[in-house]
Amino acid sequence: MADTSPQPSRSRDLDKLLLRPGNLVGPRFEPGPETRDDLQAYARVLVVGAGGLGCELLKDLALTGFRNLDVIDMDRIEVTNLNRQFLFRLEDVGKPKAEVAAKRVMERISGVNIVPHFCRIEDKDISFYNDFNIIALGLDSIEARSYINGVACSFLEYDSYNNPREETIKPMVDGGTEGFKGHARVILPGITPCFECTIWLFPPQVKFPLCTLAETPRTAAHCIEYAHLIKWNEVHGGTAFDPDDPEHMKWVYNEALKRAELFGIPGVTYSLTQGVVKNIIPAIASTNAIISAACALETLKIATECSKTLSNYLSYNGTQGVHTKVTEFERDKDCLVCGPGVLIEVEPSVTLQKFIYLLEEHPKLWLSRASVSHQGKNLYLQAPTVLEEMTRSNLSQTLFNLMGKVTRDIVHVNGTATKNDQKISCMRKLLVVFKGTDGVADMDTAGGA
Amino acid sequence: MIKLFKVKEKQRELAENASGGAPIKKQTAGELRLHKDISELNLPKSCAMHFPNGKDDLMNFEVSIRPDEGYYMGGTFLFSFQVSPIYPHEAPKVKCKTKVYHPNIDLEGNVCLNILREDWKPVLNINTVIYGLYHLFTEPNYEDPLNHDAAAVLRENPKLFESNVRRAMAGGYVGQIFFPRCM
Amino acid sequence: MAEPKVKYDRQLRIWGEQGQAALEKSSICLLNSGPTGSETLKNLVLGGIGSITVVDGSKVEEGDLGNNFMVDESSIGQSKAKCVCSFLQELNDAVKAKFIEEYPEELIETNPSFFSQFTLVVATQLVEDSMIKLDRICREANVILIFARSYGLAGFVRISFKEHTVIESKPEHFLDDLRLNNPWPELKSLAEGIELNVQDPVAHKHIPYVIILVKVADEWAKSHGGALPSTREEKREFKELIKARMRGQDEDNYKEAIEASFKVFSPQGISSDLQQIVNDSSAEVDSNSSDFWVLVAALKEFIANEGGGETPLEGSIPDMTSSTEQYVNLQNIYQKKAEADIVAIERRVRSILKKIGRDSNSIPRTTIKSFCKNSRKLKICRFRLIEDEFNSPNLPELQKYLTDEDFSTAVGIYILLRAVDRFAANYNSFPGQYESAMEEDIPRLKSTASGLLNDLGCNGATLAEDLINEMCRFGAAELHAVAALVGGIASQEIIKLITRQFVPMSGTFIFNGIDHKSQLLSL
């Protein structure tokens, strides 16, 4: 079919998308070789998690024009990973996932640089995360998603019109799977809902009543949870249960089995015991591939605007036929994590006491009896007494000093607001700017690069 | 976006030549919400709170309850609370640190309170949990037992139950089991 | 050694050991080992598929290194099939992997019998003409065929097979089989032996709701000439009757009874979906009938006779507030009835087998048991020959899609994916494949698409200009992320087809990588 064969290029297929103009693209798409070259040279993506999704993401991103990747994961490779985490082999069991994954992808794709981080996500300074242009999440826990989301949103700043300042937006793509089902989403903090805005999308884990476990067990899972949550402590007092210790797991299994026999309950197996105790979510290669690929594609679009984007949540369900659905979720206007916060300008000489008083008078707040916290430090708490006493001495100090003499920063307050003659308790995010310091001037240079 | 990346890459190089900023502790969504819960607490006099790690760690605290009526009047019962970073998506983990003869609390300190497990909802708060715990002492119930023996005695013989509770609280044996004094 | 069991733990939790065994017995043939095909196989090899055969006549070029993880710099100039095959083998040494260095199009022409040795053929990146030929071959040989194609930011997946029957369809939400609308004598007598007005409050709040509902329904029937509540008013009254028996707000068993009272009102007998299956002409069995249809024939007899209009009982009950003893007793009653129903079905199966001249023990008891347990959830999927769809698509559907906002992009992609093949047949290259021809390719593709729409009977229908432009921009590129996604979907469907669990897609899945508003089209 070929008549005029083009220059052999590794970017043969991707070039069609990046070099050619199109009509269904983002407003700032600039087709041309420079876009491709800049993508390779400047775009830095962090992949969080080197498991089922993370392995796929690294491969997909590396074959989608990204050359500067980092990957962070605290786990070591286990045998049960091998049915889907295709960068790992049996002889890798016990090695750090991040390191092996990075090495394998670099071995196969020349020119790609992947820096592994074998540690917990909390171990890194927040500034570490600010070095990346986009964060891709391949995680299986709500806690970790919530943490990264909080970090990414902490970089977000708004201008004086409450519009997010573009250079402070840290885009995230997030994937998740369970069996034949999964989701992929794009989070542009300040523009699309953040993880916390829609945390209700994750149903809370089912927990059995303890008295059912103790008195009226009916199912195999009840017997297992009895052995795990009640019997273990009764017998082992001091030793904490370790789900990764096979001896511990076997003990729970045997106890569960005994209890099931006692009550005539069928169905306790070793596999079910592990499933219940570790809350194992079934996972297969195909679903991880689908969801990661969708995330990688969106990462490319965020970076280059070479196509319209997913707005903003894709769900996939392959159990009964194939169902895909795109939902445009909305932001929570009052979200404490990604919201703009109310701007408050104060003199550096203002004491905390005076600041609390100012909140009562502030026309956007009318907040009385405020408690104040700053970056995890509790500056003042109205209750309970023990904490009030511990924080009372701060009242006479200046807020400027208490906040470590920064020119501007976020503080969180909660107290009682009056709305339509009704008193309601509320929690607010404030952006405190100290007058006469350079924090004010900074505010007015909106837009930026 | 890529143009932006280019600028940021330059900034980064500059920053690396300067010095790294001080690490900042990240406040989780759970901490923010807990801060609200705690500062709005409205506890009965019989309940007191302790923060063993100081004012900046609200995620781990203790509550002591001194019931002023019922079987357990005069005793002091200590509970530990562990709050998750995704609170209130997940209920706080509560354990009773005082060994107690109680139908709904076992000898390991597990507590059978519906709002701590199957009926937890994000609209509930620390105040509701503490009231729930307080309620367990004023109205222990034998219908949801965790300590089977105590429940049976409460049900069959409330008088005996009462004296068992007194004996345990004063520091002594009920059957084969020793209870340290908690009055 | 238990290692494979550990390795496959996370998937055994989905399809069990039977599903795994089916995978390990199957042999898959892949046509074309670009990223779409390689990624499809990767997901199957990791899961422990029995054997793979990679068919591809091309050599690895520089450009392949940019979209295919299974080749690397050392592969350049070598057989792509060989390189891909050897990487796949590295992933799982339990899989038998081989390759054939030959172009699929030629194999289809010269050696059609080649395909009959496989359980399933996955054909990637084929053009229309080859798809049609291969489809006929596989249909004739009764080999499952699945097409997958990635094209720029678009793609499709399509299954073709005469008939796929599923016993374990495993729907996520399916009403339990408690028969509260039609309790059998043993359940009734168990309920009769339980006193609702028991003094002991602990006992009162631990009577399972199934018992409460059977008793209250019985009471109702006695005072209503044997009928159960049917009007809205009666249903409300029935719930009030339950509520009146509650002693406190914290009686979870009564709350559950009120919530589940609709199970008493729901109509007796089988669903319309199941009715359709037992009425299918295939249920008139002969010596050529599959095991599935023999079982359906037995089911049909059962429903008409000892089943009294109902299917065999599923036999399992959901967890509910109850004392352990009463729950276990209840479970036993359900299990006993289910076992009796299995015996009845088995008797019918054996006699039908004998009647049609087969060994009466040729269907194992475990299969019959599983069939009974899942008899309310049976699924039959039949797929049109792709040639029939291409020549005479379901016209009303097609016209509906073309004007429906939710479907217009997807159906546009569908038409354009066909149009590019026509284009290629006429002009010897795909639209936009070469930079130099972009200008003239756009109007050419537009007129090819219009011509195709006319041929299909959609005279005057047009596609969005932007989409036509976009399709030319794609220039037949096979992007890795799109290939991984399309291949991922293909492999997931293959797993469902081979394990015969869950339900495969019907129709053509159109992947829309522009805004992810993908659709399943039934043409």
- Which residues are bridge partners to C340 per DSSP? none
Q: How many CB atoms lie within 10 A of CB B98?
A: 18
Look at residue C101 and tell me whether its pLDDT is greater than 50. Answer: yes
State which H helix or E strand residue A76 sits in.
none
What pLDDT sits at residue A446? 38
- Closest partner residue to B108 among A233, A376, A390, by Cβ? A233
What is the radius of gyration, based on Cα positions, of chain A?
26
State which H helix or E strand residue B82 sits in.
strand B77-82
Q: Per the CB < 8 Å rule, is B1 touching A303?
A: yes
C179: left (phi over 0), alpha (psi -120 to 50) or beta: left
Domain hosting B125: range is 27-171
- Closest partner residue to B89 among A142, A230, A371, by Cβ? A142
Q: Of A185, A368, A182, A388, whose CA–CA distance to A283 is shortest? A: A182
Token code pair at residue B111: 């507590």
Q: Could you tell me if B6 and A42 are in contact, meaning their C-beta atoms sit under 8 angstroms apart?
A: yes
What average pLDDT score do residues C51-60 get? 98
Tell me the nearest-neighbour CA distance from B45 into chain A, angstroms. 11
Residue whose structure tokens are 């789900």: A243
Give the pLDDT band of residue A364 (cuts 50, 70, 90).
confident
Q: Is A358 found in the same domain as A248? A: no
Task: List chain B residues with CB under 8 Å of A166.
Answer: 4
- Flag whether A335 is in a domain: no
Q: Could you tell me the CATH number of the domain that includes residue A390?
A: 3.10.290.20
Tell me the nearest-neighbour CA distance from A247 into chain C, angstroms. 16
Rounded CA-CA distance B92/B90 in Å is 7
Active-site residue among A55, A119, A153, A211? A211
Which whole-number Å values give the CA distances from A105 to A61, A116, C234, in the listed order?
10, 11, 67
Does A384 sit behind a cis peptide bond, omega within 30 degrees of 0 on the bond before it?
yes
Q: Per the CB < 8 Å rule, is C484 touching A289?
A: yes
Tell me the nearest-neighbour CA distance from A167 into chain B, angstroms. 7
Query: Which of C199, C202, C250 would you mutate first to test chain B, the one with the most B CBs within 10 A?
Result: C202
Q: Is A320 found in the same domain as A273? A: no
Phi, psi values for residue C306, rounded to 5°: -65, -20
Give the pLDDT band of residue B27 (cuts 50, 70, 90).
confident
A30: left (phi over 0), alpha (psi -120 to 50) or beta: beta
- Flag whether B47 is in a domain: yes
The CA-based angle A7-A10-A13, given to 5 degrees, is 85
What pLDDT sits at residue B24? 56
What pLDDT sits at residue B20? 41
- Closest partner residue to B28 among A126, A150, A373, by Cβ? A150
What average pLDDT score do residues B35-63 get? 91
Domain hosting A350: range is 342-434
Interface size A-C, in CB pairs within 8 Å, comes to 249
Q: Given CB atoms, is A126 within the 8 Å cutoff of chain C?
A: no
B155, burial (CB in 10 Å: exposed 0-12, middle 13-18, buried 19+): middle
Last residue of a domain, one of A240, A259, A278: A278
What pLDDT sits at residue C295? 98
- Flag whether B53 is in a domain: yes
Task: List chain B residues with CB under 8 Å of C202.
Answer: 142-143, 155
Tell me the nearest-neighbour CA distance from C200 into chain B, angstroms. 10
The CA-based angle A406-A412-A414, given to 5 degrees, is 145
Q: Given CB atoms, is A300 within the 8 Å cutoff of chain C?
A: yes
- pLDDT tens digits, C389-410: 999 999 999 999 999 999 999 9
Rounded CA-CA distance A236/C192 in Å is 45
Q: Per the CB < 8 Å rule, is B25 touching A375?
A: yes
According to DSSP, residue A3 is labeled S
Q: Given CB atoms, is A319 within the 8 Å cutoff of chain C?
A: yes
Largest Cα separation within chain C, whole Å, is: 90
Touching subunits of B (3+ CB pairs, under 8 Å) are A, C
Task: List chain C residues with CB under 8 Å of A300.
Answer: 481
What pLDDT sits at residue C424? 96
Q: Per the CB < 8 Å rule, is A412 touching B32?
A: yes
Q: Per the CB < 8 Å rule, is A210 touching B54?
A: no
- What is the distance between the terminal CA atoms of chain B, rounded to a whole angstrom? 67
Q: Could you tell me if C523 and A324 are in contact, meaning their C-beta atoms sit under 8 angstroms apart?
A: no
Which whole-number Å values give the CA distances from C133 to A53, C128, C160, C482, in the listed order?
37, 9, 12, 26
Q: Is A388 found in the same domain as A321? A: no
Query: Which of B143, B144, B154 would you mutate first to test chain C, the one with the most C CBs within 10 A?
Result: B143
Token code pair at residue C347: 């008797």
Q: Which residue of A has its CA nearest to C72?
A: A108
- Flag whether B56 is in a domain: yes
B48, burial (CB in 10 Å: exposed 0-12, middle 13-18, buried 19+): middle
Q: Per the CB < 8 Å rule, is A376 touching B20?
A: no
- Flag whether A189 is in a domain: yes
Q: Is A388 found in the same domain as A366? A: yes
- Flag whether A3 is in a domain: no
Q: What's the mean per-residue pLDDT of chain A?
A: 92
Touching subunits of A (3+ CB pairs, under 8 Å) are B, C
Lowest average pLDDT, out of A36-45, A363-372, B23-32, C104-113, goes to: B23-32
Q: Is A304 found in the same domain as A270? A: no
Q: Could you tell me if B73 and A172 are in contact, meaning their C-beta atoms sit under 8 angstroms apart?
A: no
C41, burial (CB in 10 Å: exposed 0-12, middle 13-18, buried 19+): buried
Q: Per the CB < 8 Å rule, is B1 touching A305?
A: yes
What pLDDT sits at residue C398? 96
- Flag whether B13 is in a domain: no
Task: List chain A residues with CB under 8 Å of C89.
Answer: none
Q: What's the mean per-residue pLDDT of chain C?
A: 96
Query: Which of B2, B36, B125 would you mutate first to test chain A, the one with the most A CBs within 10 A?
Result: B2
Q: Could you write out the three-class secondary structure of C371-418?
A: HHHCHHHCEEECCCCHHHHHHCCCHHHHHHHHHCHHHHHHHHHHHHHH
Q: Could you write out the three-class secondary structure of chain A?
A: CCCCCCCCCCCHHHHHHHHCCCCCCCCCCCCCHHHHHHHHHHCEEEEECCCHHHHHHHHHHHCCCCCEEEEECCCECCHHHCCCCCCCCHHHCCCEHHHHHHHHHHHHCCCCEEEEECCCHHHCCHHHHHCCCEEEEECCCHHHHHHHHHHHHHCCCECCCCCECHHHCCCEEEEEEECCEEEEEEECCCCCCCCCCCHHHCCCCCCCCHHHHHHCCCCHHHHHHHHHHHHHHHHHCCCCCCCCCHHHHHHHHHHHHHHHHHHCCCCCCHHHHHHHHCCCCCCCHHHHHHHHHHHHHHHHHHHHCCCCCCCCEEEEECCECCEEEEECCCCCCCCCCCCCCEEEEECCCCEHHHHHHHHHHCCCCCEEEEEEEECCEEEECCCCHHHHHHHHHHHHCEHHHHCCCCCEEEEEEEEEEEECCEEEEEEEEEEEEECCCHHHHHHHCCCCC
- Flag whether A334 is in a domain: no
Touching subunits of C (3+ CB pairs, under 8 Å) are A, B
* Maximum mean pLDDT: which of A167-176, A197-206, B30-39: A167-176
Task: List chain B residues with CB under 8 Å of C205.
Answer: 143
- Flag whether A51 is in a domain: yes
Tell me the nearest-neighbour CA distance from A104 into chain C, angstroms. 11
Task: List chain C residues with CB under 8 Å of A320.
Answer: 169, 171-172, 502-503
Rounded CA-CA distance A19/C486 in Å is 24
- Closest partner residue to A427 among B20, B30, B36, by Cβ? B36
Q: Which residue of B has its CA nearest to A383?
A: B39
Q: Per the CB < 8 Å rule, is A82 touching C436?
A: no
- Closest partner residue to C513 among A86, A297, A318, by Cβ? A297
What average pLDDT score do residues A199-206 get? 86
- Flag whether A6 is in a domain: no
Q: Is A390 found in the same domain as A273? A: no
Q: Could you tell me if A426 and A414 are in contact, meaning their C-beta atoms sit under 8 angstroms apart?
A: yes
Structural domains in chain C, CATH included, are 4-163+479-521 (3.40.50.720), 185-265 (no CATH), 272-379 (no CATH), 387-474 (no CATH)
Look at residue A147 and tell me whether its pLDDT is greater than 50. Answer: yes
Tell me the nearest-neighbour CA distance from A18 into chain C, angstroms. 10
Task: List chain B residues with CB under 8 Å of C201.
Answer: 143
Rounded CA-CA distance A299/C374 in Å is 43
What average pLDDT score do residues C112-140 get? 97
- Flag whether A336 is in a domain: no
Cα atoms in the Cβ-side hemisphere of radius 13 Å centred on C521? 34
- Flag whether B10 is in a domain: no
ipTM associated with this complex: 0.96
Q: Is A298 found in the same domain as A244? A: no
Give the pLDDT band of residue B7 (cuts 50, 70, 90).
confident
What average pLDDT score do residues C197-205 get? 93
Domain total of chain A: 3
Q: Could you tell me if B61 and B52 are in contact, meaning their C-beta atoms sit under 8 angstroms apart?
A: yes
Q: Per the CB < 8 Å rule, is C515 touching A310?
A: yes
What average pLDDT score do residues A305-319 get? 96
Q: Is A185 found in the same domain as A55? A: yes
SS3 state at C120: strand
According to DSSP, residue B114 is labeled G
What average pLDDT score do residues B69-98 get? 95
Tell me the nearest-neighbour CA distance from C248 into chain B, angstroms. 12
Domain total of chain B: 1
Q: Could you tell me the CATH number of the domain that includes residue B127?
A: 3.10.110.10
- Is B112 an annotated catalytic residue? yes
What pLDDT sits at residue B16? 63
Q: Of C70, C46, C480, whose CA–CA distance to A293 is shortest? A: C480
Rounded CA-CA distance C222/C266 in Å is 19
What pLDDT sits at residue A439? 52
Tell me the nearest-neighbour CA distance from C66 into chain B, angstroms. 21
Q: Is A346 found in the same domain as A233? A: no
Q: Of C484, C32, C84, C152, whose CA–CA distance to A59 is shortest? A: C484
- Flag whether B178 is in a domain: no
Q: Given CB atoms, is C370 within the 8 Å cutoff of chain A?
A: no
Q: Is A235 found in the same domain as A108? A: no
Q: Could you tell me the CATH number of the domain that includes residue A167?
A: 3.40.50.720
Q: Is A191 found in the same domain as A115? A: yes
Last residue of a domain, one of A238, A263, A278: A278
Q: Of A285, A244, A82, A85, whose CA–CA distance to C7 is shortest? A: A82
Q: Is A171 found in the same domain as A29? A: yes
Look at residue A77 and tell me whether its pLDDT is greater than 80. Answer: yes
Share of residues in chain A with pLDDT > 70 (%):
96
Could you tell me the pTM of the whole model?
Answer: 0.94
Please give the full DSSP string across C293-318, using - where no structure is assigned.
Answer: HHHHHHHHHHHHTTTTTSPPP-----
Q: What letters, b where the CB count within 10 A reaches 16 and e where it falls short, cover C369-378?
A: bbbbbbbbbb
What average pLDDT score do residues B110-118 get? 94
Give the pLDDT band of residue A3 (cuts 50, 70, 90).
very low
Q: Per the CB < 8 Å rule, is B117 touching A166?
A: no
Look at residue C459 and tell me whether its pLDDT is greater than 90. Answer: no
Q: Could you tell me if C164 and C502 are in contact, meaning their C-beta atoms sit under 8 angstroms apart?
A: no
- Closest partner residue to A427 among B32, B55, B146, by Cβ? B32
SS3 state at C124: strand
What pLDDT sits at residue B45? 87
Give the pLDDT band of residue C3 (cuts 50, 70, 90).
low
Query: Which of C60, C62, C324 would you mutate first to test chain A, the one with the most A CBs within 10 A?
Result: C324
Task: List chain B residues with CB under 8 Å of C320.
Answer: none
Q: Could you tell me if B107 and A234 are in contact, meaning their C-beta atoms sit under 8 angstroms apart?
A: yes
What pLDDT sits at residue C2? 54
- Flag whether B50 is in a domain: yes
- Flag whether A196 is in a domain: yes
Look at residue C276 and tell me whether its pLDDT is greater than 90. Answer: yes
Residue whose structure tokens are 């043939």: C29
Q: Are strands A408-419 and A367-374 parallel, antiparallel or unpaired?
A: antiparallel
- Flag whether B7 is in a domain: no
